[in-house]
Amino acid sequence: MSTVKATNFQHPSAASPAIVLDADGGVTGDNGLKQIAFGNFSSVSVQTIDTVFTASPSVYLLVINSQGTVAGTSYLTFNMRAAGVTLNSAGSYQLSGVINSPTAGPTRDYQVTTFGVLGNIGTNAGQVVAWIVVPASSNFPTVMSQMFGSGSTDSYIGNYHTRATVAGTYDGIRFAPTSGTMSGTYRLYKLQGD
């Protein structure tokens, strides 16, 4: 077995651009999703991801696999962050969503709160997939999320749409359950060429 190491690849056609790999193995200048942050967390009440969003308009994908310690309808919430400061003042977020419980059926949700909602978190493993649209500096980020539960009676599926109502230059995000702690993993991707 042979190993070949290279960072620059050129298509035989002159019309095709070269592919250049950056230090973390991502494709420089490529269109598509590029992982920019990842992590594991265990028995935490909050997880913070700082200095990941740029000042230019961008689209991000956040994937969270988690399990909480409190059964029932605990929310998995989020707050935008700017230079290490969390946006959590009264009325900072407008959210709407539809969630579906295996035992209670669909429920509509609308709130003006101190946090945004990614989904629900219970004692069974679940996943949240969230698109985060961070507009130009001093504008209002929007998060559209979908949650997938494990299929148990402590598991929910549904969609949320949250908009920050306070303009700011946001460079980070934090997420947390409304009660108990959580364990799991997260991965954050940036849509290149958007």
Q: Reduced to 3 states, what is the DSSP secondary structure of residue 127?
A: strand
Determine, yes or no, domain membership for 79.
yes
- CATH at residue 63: 2.60.120
**Of all helices (H) and strands (E), which one includes residue 142?**
strand 142-148
Determine, yes or no, domain membership for 18.
no
Query: What is the block-wise mean pLDDT of the chain (194 residues), using blocks of 10 residues?
Result: 58 56 58 90 97 89 92 83 92 87 76 87 85 82 84 66 90 94 95 74
Phi, psi of 109 (to 5 degrees): -140, 130
Q: What is the pTM of this model?
A: 0.81
Determine, yes or no, domain membership for 15.
no
pLDDT at res. 24: 56
How many angstroms separate the CA atoms of 36 and 26, rounded? 9
pLDDT at res. 108: 82
pLDDT at res. 176: 95
Q: Reduced to 3 states, what is the DSSP secondary structure of residue 173?
A: strand
Determine, yes or no, domain membership for 62.
yes
Determine, yes or no, domain membership for 151.
yes
pLDDT at res. 126: 84
- Could you give the C-alpha distances from 189 to 37, 39, 46, 55, 84, in angstroms and in order? 7, 12, 20, 16, 20
At 171, the amino acid letter reads D
pLDDT at res. 148: 79
pLDDT at res. 62: 96
Determine, yes or no, domain membership for 9.
no
Our count of domains for the chain comes to 1
Pairing of strands 74-82, 58-68: unpaired
Q: What is the DSSP secondary-structure string of 26-93? A: PEET-SEEEEEEEEEEEEES-EEE-S-S-SS-EEEEEEEEEEESS-S-EEEEEEEEETTEE---TT-E
Determine, yes or no, domain membership for 7.
no
Cβ atoms of 117 and 97 within 8 Å: the answer is yes
pLDDT at res. 56: 83
pLDDT at res. 139: 78
Determine, yes or no, domain membership for 153.
yes
Query: What residue numbers bound the domain in which 72 lies?
Result: 30-192
